[in-house]
Amino acid sequence: MTEITFLPSGKKITVGTGETILQASEKAGVMIEAPCGSCGTCLKCKVRIDPEHLQSVSEKRGHRLSGKEKAEGFVLACQTVVHGDITVHVPEAADDRSLKILSDGESFRYGISPAFTKKYDPASDVTGLFYEGTSVGLEPGDTERTLYGIVVDIGTTTLVVSLIDMTDGSEKGSVSSLNPQAKIGQDVLSRIRHASEEKGLSELHGMFIDELNRSIDALAAAHGVNRSGIYEIIFSGNTCMLHLAVRENPASLGKYPFIPVEKGHSRRHASDLGIHASPYAVVYLPPNISAYVGADITSGILATALGDKKGSVLFIDIGTNGEMALAVNGGISATSTAAGPAFEGMNIEFGMRAANGAVESFDIADDGQRVSVGVIGETAPTGICGSGLLDIAGELVAHGIVNKQGKFVKPDQTAFPPEIAGRFIERDGKTCFRIDGDIVITQKDIRQIQLAKGAIRAGIEFLMKNGCIESSGVTEVLIAGSFGYHLKTKSLFNIGLLPKEFDGRVRMVGNTSKTGGLAFLLNSSFRGKMADLVGKIDVIELSNCKDFDRVFIETLSF
């Protein structure tokens, strides 16, 4: 047996010799990202070992790390087998505690009328428990004032868990973490594949429930709340995430005709799912719109009152799935596009989550004489997160460093100021552009950004076409998702993710999956109303649109 100590968390685990660092980290509850599924290709599981411990490990196969990194003790956690006691330094970006996950979003005023209610009877000194008006149990004494709920925003990449006092609607606290299922697969399709087998489904479900319980325990302890005082939990997430959360096989989402088993607007006993809460607690799932437009978008539609808006309003959740909805005078159509994880910082050489050390903003002065780089946590940059990536792409295009086709121009053929010219770097015969320190953006990275933005733009074009509306006719554009309120809309126009005609009409609305989930928790009247609305939404399957490939290719250029 060998003991592995993970820093900076200080967590220790004893494992049998022959396990990889990644396997040990999972057992120790230490988050190390492994988006390629331990294939040794993504290099995102990079950790550092104290040099004196290097003789206690061996490589499964040759690392693709540079000689300098190897000399400094860096190894790939998925490819490094442990034979003796070691200390592993996990980069701060992989440590949940420094993650910057958006937990706020737009909402509206509504009355508090939860599905779970209590009524104290002084005569018998018991409190009656009711769910949707039906008696479900009794508690001794007066517990009327103890009525908590939980809202879980289940993202493919991140989780946000909020503890709510349902007597007055106040939020006691909120915690965010990476979705641990990302270790199995970064995107929805890889999780559907993994969960198609019973063992894989149990594994993914268990990972989610364990993380949820950790979050609930932490919130309860921090706010002096007994877990048995939690009576309802809302799961707001995409269709696949909701299947996994309630242990439903998502295989049907991966094959024609793509019909979800779990349609949402449904309830489960929290105890059946293994959730730390009252034995009477119920889990409510808002309605899913389709296999790839989930309850998180239903929550977004509720939070932004999209169905009640006048004019033509576009709602886009920029994430791995690129889900979007267009309301034209109250009638709503929706679609989703496979944007991929580039905007989450994945499949990008120096990509990382929005955590300490991530470049989150980038600006080149109009005259090209000055470059400003914004880094989360005021520390030395170690990578680039989604908003930084969008800014970088936008600025490179705006300043002619990358051309419309997405190729780096030849620096010697263009008169760039020295501040820009000095940032062109040749690596293995390929042009890169230096962002800060060793961090560069490569031609391959630019291609990934093109693919992601092209998918979202193509989705927008098809929604507008379906609604018989031109981009100039869209009166308001609401951007939800993890980028928060700080993303420069200029960057979205510069790279052509949004049509120029939207300029001046774009509003960042934050994490509406959470705020809509909160509305579902605090006012149960929204549940039936939204189920009716979702039944009327026109879902556009882009794979059935015969022009999709042509439009997608057209939208790839900047």
* Phi, psi of 80, rounded to the nearest 5 degrees: -110, 115
* Least CB distance to ligand FES at residue 442 (A): 17
440: left (phi over 0), alpha (psi -120 to 50) or beta: beta
Between 60 and 145, CB nearer to ligand FES? 60
Looking at beta carbons only, is 185 or 264 nearer to ligand FES? 185
Tokens of 48: 């550092």
**Closest by alpha carbon to 539, among 289, 275, 173, 253?**
289
| Between 75 and 458, CB nearer to ligand FES | 75
| 80/523 with CB nearer ligand FES | 80
Minimum separation from the CB atom of position 353 to ligand FES (A): 15
The Cβ of residue 485 has, within 10 Å, a number of other Cβ atoms equal to 13
Question: At its nearest, how many Å lie between ligand FES and the CB of residue 221?
Answer: 32
**Contacts of 406-414 spanning 24+ positions with Cβ under 8 A:** 406/446, 406/447, 406/449, 406/450, 406/556, 406/557, 406/558, 407/443, 407/446, 408/432, 408/433, 408/443, 408/446
State the Cα–Cα distance between residues 22 and 31, nearest whole angstrom: 9
For residue 45, state whether it binds ligand FES (rule: CB under 6 A).
Answer: yes
Taking phi over 0 as left and psi of -120 to 50 as alpha, with beta for the rest, 10 belongs to left
Burial class (CB in 10 A: 0-12, 13-18, 19+), 363: middle
Six token digits for residue 86: 């070691």
Q: Smallest gap, in angstroms, from Cβ of residue 63 to ligand FES?
A: 9
Shortest separation between residue 244's beta carbon and ligand FES, angstroms? 20
Q: Does 23 bind ligand FES (CB under 6 A)?
A: no
Our CB check for ligand FES shows the closer of 60 and 119 to be 60
Near ligand FES by CB under 6 A: residue from 42, 207, 230, 302? 42
Span interacting with ligand FES, options 30-38, 97-105, 125-133, 211-219, rule CB under 6 A: 30-38
Residues of span 50-79 touching ligand FES by CB under 6 A: 76, 78
Q: For ligand FES, how many residues bind (rule: CB under 6 A)?
A: 12
Least distance (Å) from ligand FES to the CB of residue 193?
17
Burial 53-66 (b: 16+ CB within 10 A, else e): beebbeeeeebebe
CB 20 to ligand FES: min, Å: 9
Residue 171 CB neighbour total at 10 angstroms: 14
Q: Quick one: 78 or 234, whose CB is closer to ligand FES?
A: 78
Query: Which of positions 448-507 make contact with ligand FES (CB under 6 A)?
Result: none
**Nearer of residues 183 and 276 to ligand FES, judged by Cβ:** 183
Q: Tell me which of 9, 11, 15, 43 binds ligand FES, using CB under 6 A.
A: 43
Pick the closer one to ligand FES by CB: 40 or 374: 40
Question: Which among 41-49, 65-73, 231-239, 268-276 is the span making contact with ligand FES, rule CB under 6 A?
Answer: 41-49
Task: Closer to ligand FES by CB, 32 or 303: give it.
Answer: 32
Q: Which uninterrupted H or E stretch holds 108?
A: none
CB of 78 to ligand FES, least distance (A): 3
Residue whose C-alpha is closest to residue 69's, from 91, 42, 48, 55: 48
Question: Which whole-number Å values give the CA distances from 274 to 52, 139, 208, 210, 531, in the listed order?
Answer: 43, 21, 11, 9, 27
Q: Where does this chain touch ligand FES (CB under 6 A) — which range of 40-48, 320-328, 461-469, 516-524?
A: 40-48
Beta bridge partners of 236: 153
Q: From residue 100, how far is each of 160, 276, 358 by CA, in Å?
A: 11, 26, 10
Q: Do residues 297 and 253 touch, judged by C-beta distance below 8 A? A: no
Candidates 43-51, 353-361, 402-410, 528-536: pick the segment binding ligand FES (CB under 6 A). 43-51
Q: Which is nearer to ligand FES, 22 or 201 (CB)?
A: 22
- Is beta strand 371-375 parallel, antiparallel or unpaired with respect to 358-364? antiparallel
Contact between 25 and ligand FES by CB under 6 A: the answer reads: no
Q: How far apart are CA 227 and CA 477, in angstroms?
A: 40
Evaluate whether 140 touches 126 at the Cβ level (below 8 Å).
Answer: yes
Q: How near is the Cβ of 25 to ligand FES at its closest, in Å?
A: 11
Region near ligand FES per CB under 6 A, out of 42-50, 147-155, 362-370, 380-388: 42-50
Tokens read off for 241:
């995430």
Among 4, 24, 30, 44, binds ligand FES (CB under 6 A): 44
Closer residue to ligand FES (CB): 60 or 536: 60
Q: Which stretch binds ligand FES (CB under 6 A): 37-45, 234-242, 409-417, 454-462?
A: 37-45
Grouping H, G, I as helix, E, B as strand and the rest as coil, residue 131 is: strand
Q: Which of 34, 241, 244, 301 binds ligand FES (CB under 6 A)?
A: 34
- Distance of closest approach, residue 60 Cβ to ligand FES, in angstroms: 10
Closest approach of ligand FES to the CB of residue 225, in Å: 37
Q: Which amino acid is at 24?
A: A
- SS3 letters for 182-200? HHCCCCHHHHHHHHCCHHH
Residue type, 500: K
Q: Least distance to ligand FES from the beta carbon of 312, Å?
A: 43
Cβ count within 10 A of residue 272: 10
Q: How far is the CB of 81 from ligand FES (least distance, A)?
A: 13
CA distance 318 to 297: 11
Q: Nearest approach, Cβ of 344 to ligand FES (angstroms)?
A: 15
Of the pair 44, 100, the CB lying nearest ligand FES is at 44
Residues of this chain that bind ligand FES (CB under 6 A): 34, 36, 38-45, 76, 78
